Structure 1
Amino acid sequence: MAVVLAGHQYGKAENRVVRFQRDTPRHEIVDLNVTSTLRGDFADAYLTGDQSKVLPTDSQKNTMYSYAKEKGVSSVEGYALDLARHFVDDVDPVHGARIDVDSYAWTRVVVDGHDHDHTWTRSGSEVRTAAVTVAGEGEAQQTHVVAGLKDFTVLKSTGSEFKDFLTDAYTTLEPTEDRVMATSLVAQWRYDATCLADGFDFDAAYDAVKRAFLTQFATLHSFALQQTLWHMGKAAIEEVPGVVEVRLAAPNKHHFLYDLARFDVPNAGEVFHADDRPYGLIQAVVARDDVPAAPLAWER
């Protein structure tokens, strides 16, 4: 029996990059958490300790900060593309690079009825994400852009039911035709090659996908969270032509009607106990059937 090095990759994780645009009195802020992952001809580093082909993770970190100035951050996807392409095209031993970015939103402080030019508070109902993978060289090079969001908590007080489900000897859940539906959504969507050209508006596409998610969640009468996820993914693909695949994960944030009858207090769907665990975890992948799957886009 032989023992082999079956796989390897390395990088610099969770670099907190904050970029201010200060060329006018009204400043702008971009707040990022950036992780690089490099793949390539690094086996000797593991097998013999030879570091001659290893670009230090500290160098990767420095590149992230410098590119925030050199290239700017017009969008998180564009910034990640610049970094991934640099590592693959300019560092010989690197055959593939993945850049993961979380973007945190800030809202300007209002002073005397006006937005302040250089003061913010942390805000946003979700964390915006991006993952860019570049692998190979020349015409064979593959590039994938996966955008997304996480910690996106949404809730509606009615318009959801759950009944006629399979039961067995251990089933205690009562069917309901009116329940609170809430989740903290994690969603990622993959863009096709047409979106990689200069000038594609990733920010507008992000807003359109998020709007499609919210519209379906709010307006669809839901028979199950599974059904809601299907309609959310389908709507996003239909809303933004460049989106070819959507992956959704939705923990069911349960709300149970609290028993007030024992106190002779009526409770007509008004007071609930929010139970954060355990929870049902519902997942779905929605994709166009005319576009090939792209496993490389999702590898970590």
Structure 2
Amino acid sequence: MGITLGPNQYGKAETRVVRVNRHGDHHEIKDLNVSVALSGEMTAVHLTGDNAAVLPTDTQKNTVFAFAREHGIASAEAFGLLLARHFVRSQPTVHRARVSVEEYAWDRIPVTGHSFVRRGQEVRTARVAHDGERTHVVSGLRDLTVLNSAGSEFWGFLKDEYTTLPETRDRILATVVNAEWRHTDLGTAWDTSYGTVRGLLLEAFAGTHSLSLQQTLYAMGRRVLEECPSICEVRLSMPNKHHFAVDLEAFGLDNPNEVFHAADRPYGLIEGSVLRDDVPAAEEAWW
């Protein structure tokens, strides 16, 4: 009985590339997850380990970033076409390229030209605790993904022998807002209140020139308390969704803070609460 190599393919999966198009103070964002699969004359690499026909998957990843800089990203379809045609035309051993693209949509926060909220992910939450005498109502939201493509810095931090992070005066600030807020008025119009708080959180995120995510967290909680007298405490948990500028120098390309790798993990996690001085903090059992 004979044994034969069947259909096969290989490639780099889930390259997260973010392209910021800067038109003065007005920015546009394309946020993609790109997967490449190549097939062709790959028998030798499977049977003998001969890599002569293989374009490394790391090269495929670099091509995604370089094309984002050189050609921009007009659409998911157009970018996929550019990549697929390139891999087949440039590599004689590659006969077919399949490029799969997921695009993550962002809506502009009206406060600035460089603040965005991710579309269609957030979940509204509510929790009520009652013991026959006392009642606490905690409203909230989770998975509200937001991004500032300007107006964020990070410098002046502690450094030791293990520190490699460079200081920056211009970075992308992206996070997933998970927030809860405690009410003192049980007669609140809940839907109206939720919309108001969500809007205030977005306005404060967009309107704060941030020197740290901690500063932004406090500004967001403070804005809610300033504008909503019936809310006495806000708790926020905000992961720092790192976006690293891709070094394209090896390909003869500059990168003036336009092409980024959206890292998945590990991430910084910033958590804190903001509360009124005249209202005691609730026992943890009530949250």
- TM-score tier by shorter-chain length is 0.5 to 0.7
Correspondence for 1:173: 165
Correspondence for 1:231: 219
Correspondence for 1:127: 123
Listed as ranges, the matches of 1:191-202 within 5 Å are 191-192=183-184, 195-197=185-187, 200-202=188-190
CA contact (8 A) 1:128 1:150 kept: yes
Q: Deviations over 1:245-287 (max 9, x none)?
A: 0000000000000011110011100000000100000011000
| Alpha-carbon offset, residue 125 of structure 1 | 3.9
CA contact (8 A) 1:149 1:188 kept: yes
- Match for 1:130: what amino acid? A
**Aligned residues with identical type, % of pairs:** 54
Structure 2 spans left out of the alignment, 5+ residues = 1-118
More relative contact order, 1 or 2 (CA 8 Å, 6+ apart):
2
Distance 2:169 2:284 in 1: 42
> Does the C-alpha gap of structure 1 residues 152 and 263 become closer, same or farther in structure 2, counting only changes over 3 Å?
same
Correspondence for 2:259: 271
- Match for 1:171: what amino acid? T
Matched residue count:
169
Distance 2:264 2:230 in 1: 36
Distance 2:286 2:242 in 1: 29
Q: Calculate the aligned-residue CA RMSD, in Å.
A: 1.2
Structure 1 spans left out of the alignment, 5+ residues = 1-122
- Match for 1:288: what amino acid? R
| Alpha-carbon offset, residue 296 of structure 1 | 5.1
| Alpha-carbon offset, residue 142 of structure 1 | 0.6
| Alpha-carbon offset, residue 240 of structure 1 | 1.1
Correspondence for 1:214: 202
Distance 1:227 1:211 in 2: 18
CA contact (8 A) 1:189 1:243 kept: yes
- Match for 2:167: what amino acid? P
- Match for 1:127: what amino acid? V
> Does the C-alpha gap of structure 1 residues 239 and 125 become closer, same or farther in structure 2, counting only changes over 3 Å?
farther
Distance 1:125 1:238 in 2: 27
Distance 2:134 2:120 in 1: 33
Superposition misfits of 4+ residues, deviation over 3 angstroms: 296-299
TM normalised by structure 1 equals 0.55
TM normalised by structure 2 equals 0.57
Correspondence for 2:280: 292
| Alpha-carbon offset, residue 298 of structure 1 | 3.8
| Alpha-carbon offset, residue 297 of structure 1 | 5.5
Distance 2:285 2:186 in 1: 14
